[in-house]
Amino acid sequence: MKRMIIIFSAFLWLLTGFLYGQDLGENDMKFYWYPREDSTVAGYQVTWGNDVHNQIFTIDAGLDTFCILEEALPHRRIFFRVTPYDSNSAKSPKFQQFSITNWPGDKNKDGRVDIEDMIAFDKAFAKTIGHPEYDMYFDEADSLGLIDFEDMIIFDSSFGNTY
């Protein structure tokens, strides 16, 4: 039952982000975590890095339960730790730890490279800069201003991936 509630909550967060989300940059990643059901939580500290034991970047997210990581490198796995703290800035020993991979091809930033992204890629395929359906997001391989077969190979290699 708890698993169903978590899955349903994740679905609602994804749906809310899709309907009311902000425009993210090409390599930006937005991720969420579960809030602590503890009245002493005054905020969350988010740390991340390229290794589970080497998280070198830190931000204070306040009471938000999401964070936007700008300019994440494609195909790079990033490890996160979210630690709640109280009004005295004392960190909780209980934290959430997870990792995300920034998959190229996730045009709508919903956390998976899926059929919606494929439809967008299909519209952009064989289009050049200046064409109304050209989408520089998919011009991954060589950035020459043409969505071509090299770009399709990159898109295809990430199809079905989730984070």
* 114/142: higher pLDDT: 114
Query: If you search the block for the tokens 């990792």, which residue do you land on?
Result: 99
The confidence score (pLDDT) of residue 34 equals: 82
Please name the amino acid found at residue 113.
V
pLDDT digits (tens, 9 = 90+) for 77-132: 778 889 999 999 999 888 888 777 666 677 776 777 888 888 888 888 888 888 88
Cβ–Cβ under 8 Å, residues 75 and 102:
yes
Give the C-alpha separation, 143 to 56, whole Å: 31
Tokens of 36: 């602590």
Give the list of residues 6+ apart from residue 43 with CB closer than 8 angstroms, or none. 60, 61, 62, 63, 84, 85
Residue 21 confidence class, pLDDT cut points 50, 70, 90: very low
The candidate with the shortest Cα–Cα distance to 108, out of 95, 97, 121, 117, is 117
CATH superfamily to which 25-101 belongs: Immunoglobulins (2.60.40.10)
Cβ–Cβ under 8 Å, residues 81 and 68:
no
Query: If you search the block for the tokens 């059929």, which residue do you land on?
Result: 115
Query: If you search the block for the tokens 């919903």, which residue do you land on?
Result: 110
CA torsion 119-68-151-122 (nearest 10°) is: 10
In the chain, what percentage of residues exceed pLDDT 70?
A: 72
Query: Where are the chain's structural domains?
Result: 25-101, 115-158
The confidence score (pLDDT) of residue 163 equals: 56
